[in-house]
Amino acid sequence: MKIRRAWSVPLSIAACLSLAPLASAATTSPGANSVFVSAIATLPAGVVSSSLLTGTITRGKRRTVVAVEGMLTNIGQQSGQRDELIFPTINGISIEPFGYSAQVNCPPLSASSVVCTTTGSWWLDLDAAEAANPGMFIGKALAITLTGVELTGNGDQGLRATLTARVQKK
C-alpha cells in the first residue's frame, strides 16, 4: 500500500488529535444497556453517607437483571486509620446482596505503606424489584448511585470512585 507523502503527516496529526486522554471520559451516562462512571471523590467527616457517583440507564426492561460493580481506591491518610464502605442503590432501592456493602479498614499511611481499595459486586432482578415497588423500574430510567461512608468519623479525600452497571437478560 502506497501512501502519498503529502497526506501522511496530516493524517498522522489527525489520528493523534482524535485520541482522547484516558482521564477525560468520566461517564457514559445515560446509556441504553450499560453505564460507566468514574470521578475523584471526598467522604465527609462525621460518619455521614455521601453519594459518590450516579449513572443512568435509560429504561428498565422486563426479564433482565442489572449487574453493578463499584470500587473506591486511594483510601487512607497519614493522620489516622480510615474505615470506608461503599454500596449501590437503583432508584433509591438497595440491591442484592441486600444490606451488604464492600468495606475496608485501612491503617494510617506511612512512607512504606500503600493506599487501600475496596470493591464490590451487586445485582437487581428488575421483575422482582418492579413487583415489590410497582411503577419504579420497568419502563423507567434507572438511576444507579454509589454511596460511601467513612466510619471512623475522620472523613477522607482524594479518593477515586468507579461505578459500572450492565443490563443483562435472565
Determine the distance from the C-alpha atom of residue 49 to the mean position of all C-alpha atoms in its chain, rounded to a whole number: 15
* 68-103 residue pLDDT tens: 999 999 998 888 899 999 999 999 999 999 888 999
In a domain, 7, yes or no: no
Alpha-carbon gap, residue 169 to 163, rounded angstroms: 20
In a domain, 31, yes or no: yes
In a domain, 32, yes or no: yes
Please determine, for residue 8, whether its predicted confidence score (pLDDT) is greater than 70: no
The range of the structural domain enclosing residue 142 comes to 25-169
In a domain, 69, yes or no: yes
Count of CB atoms situated within 10 Å of the CB of 6: 8
Please, which residues bridge with residue 27 across strands? Answer: 37
* 94-132 residue pLDDT tens: 999 988 899 999 999 888 888 999 999 999 999 999 999
In a domain, 42, yes or no: yes
In a domain, 16, yes or no: no
pTM of the complete model = 0.82
- List the CATH number of the domain containing 66: 2.60.120
In a domain, 13, yes or no: no
B/e letters for 17-52, b = 16+ CB within 10 Å, e = fewer, are: eeeeeeeeeebebebeebbbbbeebebbeeeeeeeb
Please determine, for residue 23, whether its predicted confidence score (pLDDT) is greater than 90: no
The total number of structural domains in the chain stands at 1
